[in-house]
Structure 1
Amino acid sequence: MKASTPLDHGWTLRLDPRGHRPEQAADALVDEGVPARVPGCAHTDLLAAGLIPDPYLGRNEEEVAWVGRADWTYRTTLTGGSGGGHERADLVFDGLDTVAEVRIGGRVLGRTRNMHRAYRFDATQALAAGGDVPLEVAFTSAYEEAEAVRARLGPRPNAYPEPFNFVRKMASSFGWDWGPTLVTAGIWRQARLERWSLARLAEVRPEVTVAEDGTGRVRVRIAVERTAGGAARTLRASVRVAGVEATARLQPGSDAATICVEVPDVALWWPRGYGEQPLYDCEVTLGTDDTEEVALDSWERRVGFRTVVLDTAEDAEGSAFTLRVNGQPVFARGVNWIPDDTLVSRVDAARYRRRLAQAAKAGVNLVRVWGGGIYESEDFYDACDEAGLLVWQDFLFACAAYPEEEPLRTEVEAEARENVVRLMPHPSLVLWNGNNENLWGFRDWGWAEELNGASWGEGYYLDLLPRVVAEADPTRPYWAGSPWSGSPERHPNNPRHGTTHSWEVWNRLDYAAYREDVPRFMAEFGWQAPPAYATLRRALGEDQLAPDSPDMLHHQKAADGNGKLARGLAPHFGAPVGFDAWHYLTQLNQARAVATGIEHWRAHWPVCAGTVLWQLNDCWPVTSWAAIDGAEREKPLYHELRRLYADRLLSLTVRDGRLALAVVNDAPTPWEGRARVRRLDAKGGEAAAYEPEFTVAARAVGLVELPAALTELGDPAREFLVAEADGLRALHFAVADKEFVSPAGEVRTEVVETAEGADVTVTAHTLVRDLLLQADRLAPTAKADRGLVTLLPGESVTYRVSGWDGTGAVDAALWWVDKARSAAG
C-alpha cells in the first residue's frame, strides 16, 4: 500500500545568497534563516518572525515590496532508506509558488514555473543511501521570470503595469484595482513524501451523467504508473459507487482503463433553492490479481448526479445564456469570487465555509471563480457541493494579452488539463470559462494596434481550452470568455448575446443607467464602498479616518476611485461633510446601486437569466465593490443582497413609460396574494391606495399594472409609493434624496440585553429612510442581523446584535438619510 508522509514541519526559510538580495534584508535571513510553515509563503514566515510589518496595515505594503523581489530557499531534512521496502519514493508538491528548483542532497530533481500545477519528482535514488538527506526548494522571484519572458517574447498590453501575463502565477498578487501588490513565493500547498511499489493511480477522471430513466452513470477513466517490479503484473482496478461495483484488469503493458458503474434511481443533485444536494462516495481501488486483499493505491471523492446544459438558443431578443440543471432553467443569483486573502495559503477550510455560508445565507446560488486568482482548494468546491452553490470556473487569464509561445503554451495546457481533471468530480461545477475580459480587451482597449500581429491568447480561448474540456470533461459546457457574445462576428460585450460586463455605469454614469439595458446574462457589475468602520480603524488608525487621508487613499486601488464615489453621491445627496456621513452615504449608495440593477434585471427573467455581482469578498482592508470586507465584516450591501436574492421579491419598475409592480417568484410553488400599494405623503398621510390580487407561477415574474390615479404624484418632492405583499416591501421615490422634502428624522431607541448580546429596537416618529445600525461601532466584535431599513411613521425595527454587551450609547452607531443629509453641503 502506498505510504504518504506529510512534509509540514522542520522547514526553515532563508534568502538565497546566490540570488538577488534587497537592501532591506537582514543578515540573519542569509545565515540562519527563520522557521517556515508549510503550506505558507515568504511573507507569512517573515510576519511570524517579526521581520516585516503587517502589509495590510497603513502603507506597510510599500515597506514589504522588497520581499517579492528576493530569491528564497526552503530547507528541511528527509530520512533516507527504503522506507518499508517500497520500490519508489516520490516528492509531491500540490503547489509551488512559482519558479522553483527542487534539490535533494545537492542533486537537482526538477524545476517548476507554474503556481497552478502540482509536481511529482522521483527521489528514490537520492534517498537510497539512507541517513539524513537535505531537501531544498529554491525560489526565484516571479518578477525575474516574468521580466525575462517578456524580454524574450516582446511586450503585451494589460490593464495594470505589472508583468503578470508572462508567468503562470496568481495575477492579482501583482496588485489589482482592489488588491495589494504582494508578490509571494513559497510552498503554498501541501508537500509530502509518497512511497509505493508496483503501481499507483496517476489519474482518475469520473464522468458523471444521468440517463433519461434516472440511472446514474459514472464512467471512470484511470491511468496508472508502474515501477519496474509492476511492469509484468496484471493490475486490477475497481470502482464502487452507492454499493455498485465494477472491475477492470490491466494486462502487462497497459496503463489505462475505463470502468463504468450504473446506479439505478439515483437522487439528483440540485442547486440550492431547487432541491437537495445528495452526494455519493466514489471509490477507486488499484491492486493486483495475486494480492486482492492488499490495495496498492486508492482514490475517493464524492460525486453528485445531475445534468447541466448551457442554453444559447437564438430567439427574438438575440441569443440566450441560460444554465439548465436537470432540465430546469435557473436564474443565477450570483457573486464573483476573488482570492479571500492575497496571502492565499492562510485561507483554510473553516474560512471557506464561513464565506460560502454567508453567500448561501444571502440567497446566492452561483459563485464565479474569477480568472485573476487561483483554482481554489478542494475545501472550496466541497463546501459548494454541500451547499448547492453552482460554480462557474474561469481559466486563469484576466485583463491582459497572454503570449501563446513557449515557455507559456506548454504550461497553460498542462495547467488546464490538470485542473479540469482535479475539479471534474464536483457536481457544483457547472461551467468552464476561458478568460476574464480579454476578448473584450482586444476589441475595445487598443490592443490590436499595440500587438501588431503578436499572439494575445485567442488561440487559448477559442482552440486549446475548449479542446481540453471536450477531451477531459465532456459533461460540462465551455464558454470562451466573459464578456463574450458567442461569435467573433459580434461585439464581445453585446448585451443581446451571451455574457455582459457593465462597467460604464460605475465609471461614468449614474446607477439609474442600469435600467437602460436588459442583458441576457449580467456577469459583472458593481459599485464601490469603503469597508466597515472597525475594519478601517484597525487598518488605518484613528488619525487617518478621512476620505482623502494618505492611508485611506492607499487602501483605494481603483483609478480615481474616490472621485467616482463623490460623483456617484452628488446627484443623490450632495457632498457629505465629515468622515462619518461620507462613510454611511457611500455604503448606502453602493447598496442602492446594486439594488437598482438586480431589481431591474430580475424583473426581466427569462430574457435575463442571471446577475453576478462584482464582488462577494475582499482579500485585505480596502475600499472596493465587495459585499463582505477583508476583515470578514458584512457591509450594508450584503444585507441588501439578502432581500434582492430572496426567492420572492417585490419591486416598483418602469415598463413602457409607466410604473408597474414586478412580482418576482423564484420559488418552487406559485405565489398567490394581494398587494397593497399606497401613495404617501412624507408626513405620513395617505393620498391614494390600490389592492390588486396577483397569481405568479413558480420560477416566473408577474407584472401588476398600477392605475394612473395612484402613480401620478401630486408633489414628487413630498410623495412616494409603498408596495407591500406577504411581508415584503418595495419603495419608489421619484426625486433624489437631496430634493425630497421630509421632516427631520426622529427616532426612539431601546436596548435589551440578550444571551447572545443585545436587541436594539428603533421606533420612528417620522419617515426614516435607510436606517442603519453600524454594530461594529459599538464593539469591534459586534454584528447586527440586518442592514438598511426604511421605517414609516410609527413603525419599529429590532436589530439583534451579537458580540456586544449592550452597554454604551447607540446614537453614534445609528445612521439614516436625513441624519447624513444634515451634514451635506
Structure 2
Amino acid sequence: MLGESSFRASASIHSPSREVYMTVFAPWLLHDFAPGEGERQQAHTPALDTESWLPVAVPGDVHRTLVAAGRLPEPFYDRNEPEADWIQEREWWYRTILTGPHDALAPDERLRLVFDGVDTYATYYLNGEVLGESRNMFREHDFDVTDSLRPGPNTLAVRLDPPLQHVELAQVPAWDPEIIKPKVAMRKAQFGYGWDWGPVLPTFGLWRGVELRRERAARLTGVQFATVSLNAAHTFAVVTASAEVERFATDAPLSAEFTLTLPSGEAMTRQLTLEAGQTAGEVSFELRDPALWWTRDLGTPALHGLEVRLLLDDQPLDQLSQKVGVRTLHLDQSPDADEPGTRFFRFVLNGLPIFARGANWIPADSFVGTLTRERYEPLIRLAQQGHMNMLRVWGGGVYEHDAFYDLCDELGLLVWQDFMFACAPYPETDELAREVRAEAEYQVRRLRSHASLALWCGNNENQWIQEMRYLTRATGDLYYAKILPEVVAALDGQVPYWPGSPYGGNDHNSMLDGDRHNWDVWHGQRPIVRQFGDPIGLDRTLEGVSYRNYAVDLGRFISEFGMHAAPALRTLRRVIPEGELYHHSPSMDHHNKDNPKNKGDALMEGTTGLPGDLAEYLLFSQVAQAEGLKFGIEHYRRRMPHCSGALIWQLNDCWPVLSWSVIDSDNVPKAGYWFARRAFAPLLASVKTLEDGGAEVWLTSERREEVRDTLTVRLMDVAGQTLWTRDVDAGISHGQSHSVLRLEAGELQADGGHYLRLESRGGHFEASTHFFVEIKDLRLPQTLPTLEARAQPDGSLSLSVTASQYSYLVHFTSDEVIGFSDNFFDLEAGQSRTITATHPDRALRPEDVELKMFQARQPQPQP
C-alpha cells in the first residue's frame, strides 16, 4: 500500500509501542542506475529532480514495484523468469522526505533512525551525507541522527548495490561449482538464487519497515519471559521477566515496571530498580493454577500479556509489550532402552512427551517484502486445522515476520527455527563471523519469548552433505558449533539448540540418534541404512522410489520427507499459457525446478500408472503424494515413542510450481494435505502390512486423556459387501502406540477388489481404508456419487454426497479458492457425507463447485 509511512505499533518486542513522530516520511520513491551512476547523478542529494522515479511501498520489493509500473513482465508467468535477471545487475535507490521535529531536543534526548530489514548491501544518506552502510538482510540497522536531522524536511536516500559484486572475489569452499557460488558469502536469503522448488529471483528492497524514534536517557533493548518451574500437577508455576537497557544519557537509577495480564484479565505488577550504571534486571511471578500454553491437540494455547515500562523519576522512557505463554519445553535425548544403542529425540511440553506432527515452512512468496499477516494467516490456519503441531522455519529462507510467530503463538503451533544457513559450505572469515554473531544476537532477542519457539537449529543439511560427499568437517562449523550456541546460551538459555538438521549418530542422517531427512524415497538414495564413510548411490527404479520404502526407516525424528504433486488447475492457469497446459510442456517443466524433470513419473507409474493427459497428471501426481504421505506418517507414528516427529517437506510454496508442497501458492490444499490431516489426527487407527502377507491393526494416541472406544474392522469388497467384521477394544492412553489385532494372510483377500475398513463406534478415531494393492490395480467402480448442493443463509454451501458403490478420492474443485470442511475422501456403498464450502468474500452458488472422484483405468485381463 502506497502513501505516507508511519510508525507501526504491534504487540511484539520487535515492533514495540514507543513515542515517535506519527507521520514523518513522505511517500517513498524508487529508481535504478548502472553501478556507480547514482551518486554521480546526485541521487542522494536534496536537489535531485525525482519526476521519473517510481512510487514504491515500504515494506516492499523492487520486483513487484516494476511489475506494477509495467517495466517488468510478471516473472512467475510462463518462462519470464530470466526477464528479471537485469535487476540484480543494477543499483537501486530509495528516497523519501523525512520530517525532523521542530521543537528542540532536551540534552538527554536523541533521534534514532531504524531500518528493520534492508536487502542487502546498502549505503544510507541523509541530506547528501553518508550515514553508514549495512550488509546483512537478517538484522536491524540503526543510526543516531540527533546531530544530522534538521527541523522540517530532510532528504533520506538508500542505495542498494548489486549484491554479487560484493562477493564475486570471495573465497568459497568448493562443493558443486554449479550450485555453490559466492552467494554463500552474503547474509542474504539463499533461496532467491534458485532452489529445487524455487525460481532465480534474487530480491532487493526495504523489505521491512523504517522508523524514526525519539528517545530520552535510556531505552529497552530486549525483554525475556521464561517459565522456570512448573509442578507435575500443573497447579503452580514460577515465571520470570527480565529487561535489558541501553543507557545513552544517564547513569541515574531507573525503574522497570513489569505487568503480567492473565487470560482471565487479572493483572500482576512487579517493580524493579536498576541502580546507577545497571543495565539488566529480572523479576518473578508465582502463579497458582496457571493457564498453560499447549499445542491445540493437547489443550488451549493460553496467552498472557506482558508489558514492561522503563521510567526515570517516574517519567516513562520506553515501553515494550508482547503476548507470552506459560509453558515448559525441553528436548529429551535420553537413551531409548527398548532399542539399545539409540537415543530419543523428542520434545517434552509441560512435562508431557509429544510427537511433532507438522511440516517445513519456506518463504510464502519469492518477494518476501510483500508478505503481510493477511497472507500468513490462511496458511498457518490450514496447518493448525490439518492437525499439525509444529512448523519448521527452513534455513535457506528468512527469519519470518513477527506475524508468523504471533500466529503460531495464538494457534498453538510449535516452531523449529533454523538459523539461515542451508546446503552449502560457508566461508569462515572474520567479517562474516562478526555479521553472523550480530544477526544471531538480534534474532535471539527478537524471538526468544515466543511461546511457540521450540528449537534453535544451526543450519539445514550442511554437516550431512559435507560428510556424505567429502568425509570431512563442515566448513561453517565456526558458526554452528561455536558462535550460534554461544549466543543462544547467553541470550536465551531456555530454548534448546541443535547444531544442524539432520545431525547426530553414526551418520549425520542417522536412524540411531538426532533428526533425519528421508530423501531415500523421492531421490532413491541408497543405502537407506548408512554410516559415516559409506558411499551414496541412486536407485530410481519403480521399486527404488516407492513410498513403501518408508517402512524401513527407523529414524528418531523425521524432520524432512515428502514427494512431488502438481498444484490445482486454477493455479497453473495463472502462469502457464493455454497451449502449454500439458505434462512436460516447456512451460510446465520450467515450473518444475527439480531435476531430472521426469523424477515424479516413476512414483506415478508405480502408484496410479502414467497419466495420459493434463487432468490425469494433476490427479495422479496428487494421489501418489497423498498415498505416500499417508503411508509414511502412519509408519512413523506407529513407531512412537522411538520415533517422535514427522515433518512433511513442505507445507507451502513461494510461487506457482510443481513441488513437494501440500498447499499450493494460491492456498489450495492438495490431496496430500487432506490425507496428512487424517493421518495426523491425535487418535490414529492404521494397518501395518506384514512380510508373511498378514496384517496388524494399530492404535496410536496423542490425546492427554485416556480414550475408551470400540474399533470395528471390516473386510469389504468394492461393491459394498461385508465379508467379515471384528470388534476390538480401543482403549488407549497418551503416548501409546500398539497393535490391537493380528490378521493372518488367509483371512484377507488381498486383491484389487477388497479392502479393510476401520471405524470406531464412538467416533474418536478417523475412519481409515487400507488397500492390498496399488491404486492402479484397484477394481474401482466408475459411478460418480450423487450431489445435492444447497446455498445457506450465511453464504456457505452445504454439499451432500451419496455413493452407490465404493468411491475413492471423492473431491470438489473450483475455479476459485474455496474452503472445504473436508475434501479428497472416500465413501462406502450407501454412505452419505455433508461438506461445507465457504468463500472469503462472497456467497457461494451450487455452480461454483464441481464433484469429481478418482476413476482408475481398469486392469486388462491377463492372457
TM-score (structure 2 length as normaliser): 0.87
| Per-residue deviation, 1:268 | 2.1
In the alignment, structure 1 residue 565 sits paired with structure 2 residue 573: no
In the alignment, structure 1 residue 652 sits paired with structure 2 residue 690: no
- From 183, 192, 198, the equivalent of 2:217 is 198
2:587 equivalent in structure 1? 551
CA distance in 2, matches of 1:217, 1:795: 52
- From 201, 205, 221, the equivalent of 1:186 is 205
Partner amino acid for 2:786?
A: R
Q: Contact 1:208–1:217 at 8 Å: present in 2 too?
A: yes
Return closer, same or farther for 1:483/1:199 CA change in 2, 3 Å cut-off: same
2:15 equivalent in structure 1? none
Q: Please say which of residues 264-273 and 600-609 is displaced more in the overlay.
A: 264-273
CA distance in 2, matches of 1:42, 1:441: 34
2:540 equivalent in structure 1? none
Output aligned runs, 1:344-423, within 5 Å. 344-423=368-447
Q: Contact 2:363–2:654 at 8 Å: present in 1 too?
A: yes
CA distance in 1, matches of 2:83, 2:374: 30
CA distance in 1, matches of 2:237, 2:836: 47
Partner amino acid for 2:806?
A: L
Return closer, same or farther for 1:376/1:4 CA change in 2, 3 Å cut-off: farther
1:24 equivalent in structure 2? none
Partner amino acid for 2:517?
A: H
Output aligned runs, 1:261-272, within 5 Å. 261-265=284-288, 266-272=290-296
1:754 equivalent in structure 2? 792
Q: Contact 1:57–1:540 at 8 Å: present in 2 too?
A: yes
User: Per the alignment, in what secondary structure is the counterpart of residue 689 of structure 1?
Assistant: strand
Structure 2: which 5+ residue stretches go unaligned? 1-17, 39-47, 262-266, 525-544
2:651 equivalent in structure 1? 616
Structure 1: which 5+ residue stretches go unaligned? 22-27
| Per-residue deviation, 1:154 | 5.8
1:71 equivalent in structure 2? 91
In the alignment, structure 1 residue 15 sits paired with structure 2 residue 21: no
In the alignment, structure 1 residue 124 sits paired with structure 2 residue 146: yes
1:581 equivalent in structure 2? 616
User: Per the alignment, in what secondary structure is the counterpart of residue 382 of structure 2?
Assistant: helix
| Per-residue deviation, 1:539 | 1.6
CA distance in 1, matches of 2:423, 2:817: 37
| Per-residue deviation, 1:210 | 2.6
1:633 equivalent in structure 2? 668
In the alignment, structure 1 residue 101 sits paired with structure 2 residue 106: no
Partner amino acid for 1:63?
A: E
Output aligned runs, 1:28-427, within 5 Å. 32-80=52-100, 83-86=103-106, 87-128=109-150, 130-148=151-169, 150=170, 152=171, 155=174, 157=176, 160=179, 162-212=181-231, 214-227=236-249, 230-231=250-251, 233-242=252-261, 243-252=267-276, 254-265=277-288, 266-289=290-313, 292=314, 294-316=315-337, 317=339, 318-427=342-451
Partner amino acid for 2:645?
A: G
Q: Contact 2:802–2:830 at 8 Å: present in 1 too?
A: yes
Q: Please say which of residues 682-691 and 437-446 is displaced more in the overlay.
A: 682-691
| Per-residue deviation, 1:597 | 0.2
2:10 equivalent in structure 1? none
Q: Please say which of residues 471-480 and 682-691 is displaced more in the overlay.
A: 682-691
Return closer, same or farther for 1:255/1:99 CA change in 2, 3 Å cut-off: farther
1:499 equivalent in structure 2? 515
Q: Contact 1:466–1:478 at 8 Å: present in 2 too?
A: yes
Return closer, same or farther for 1:578/1:187 CA change in 2, 3 Å cut-off: same
CA distance in 2, matches of 1:587, 1:244: 52
| Per-residue deviation, 1:729 | 2.2
Return closer, same or farther for 1:676/1:431 CA change in 2, 3 Å cut-off: same
1:469 equivalent in structure 2? 488
| Per-residue deviation, 1:802 | 3.2
User: Per the alignment, in what secondary structure is the counterpart of residue 691 of structure 1?
Assistant: strand
Q: Contact 1:201–1:222 at 8 Å: present in 2 too?
A: yes
1:25 equivalent in structure 2? none
- From 775, 783, 802, the equivalent of 1:737 is 775
2:809 equivalent in structure 1? 770
Partner amino acid for 1:461?
A: Y
CA distance in 1, matches of 2:778, 2:101: 81
2:563 equivalent in structure 1? 527
Q: Higher helix fraction: Structure 1 or Structure 2?
A: 1
User: Per the alignment, in what secondary structure is the counterpart of residue 199 of structure 2?
Assistant: coil
Q: Contact 1:569–1:589 at 8 Å: present in 2 too?
A: yes
Partner amino acid for 1:814?
A: K
| Per-residue deviation, 1:30 | 9.1
Partner amino acid for 2:735?
A: R
Output aligned runs, 1:787-798, within 5 Å. 787-798=823-834
RMSD, aligned α-carbons:
2.5
Identity, % of aligned positions: 34
CA distance in 1, matches of 2:228, 2:167: 41
CA distance in 2, matches of 1:772, 1:339: 28
| Per-residue deviation, 1:542 | 2.4
Q: Please say which of residues 45-54 and 202-211 is displaced more in the overlay.
A: 202-211
User: Per the alignment, in what secondary structure is the counterpart of residue 527 of structure 1?
Assistant: coil
Q: Contact 1:210–1:307 at 8 Å: present in 2 too?
A: yes
| Per-residue deviation, 1:255 | 4.7
User: Per the alignment, in what secondary structure is the counterpart of residue 539 of structure 1?
Assistant: coil
Per-residue CA deviation, residues 185-234 of structure 1 (Å, 9 max, x unaligned), is 1111110111222222233344442354723221414121313xx35x33
Output aligned runs, 1:719-734, within 5 Å. 719-726=754-761, 727=763, 728-734=766-772
Q: Please say which of residues 737-746 and 104-113 is displaced more in the overlay.
A: 737-746
Aligned residues: 792
| Per-residue deviation, 1:809 | 9.6
CA distance in 2, matches of 1:676, 1:29: 78
| Per-residue deviation, 1:354 | 1.9
Q: Contact 2:205–2:369 at 8 Å: present in 1 too?
A: no
- From 628, 637, 641, the equivalent of 1:606 is 641
1:684 equivalent in structure 2? 720
Per-residue CA deviation, residues 104-128 of structure 1 (Å, 9 max, x unaligned), is 1121111100000001101122114
Return closer, same or farther for 1:332/1:349 CA change in 2, 3 Å cut-off: same
Q: Contact 2:173–2:425 at 8 Å: present in 1 too?
A: no
| Per-residue deviation, 1:592 | 0.6
Partner amino acid for 1:263?
A: E
Return closer, same or farther for 1:808/1:767 CA change in 2, 3 Å cut-off: same
User: Per the alignment, in what secondary structure is the counterpart of residue 460 of structure 1?
Assistant: helix
Return closer, same or farther for 1:371/1:302 CA change in 2, 3 Å cut-off: same
Return closer, same or farther for 1:789/1:238 CA change in 2, 3 Å cut-off: closer
Q: Please say which of residues 210-219 and 105-114 is displaced more in the overlay.
A: 210-219
In the alignment, structure 1 residue 716 sits paired with structure 2 residue 751: yes
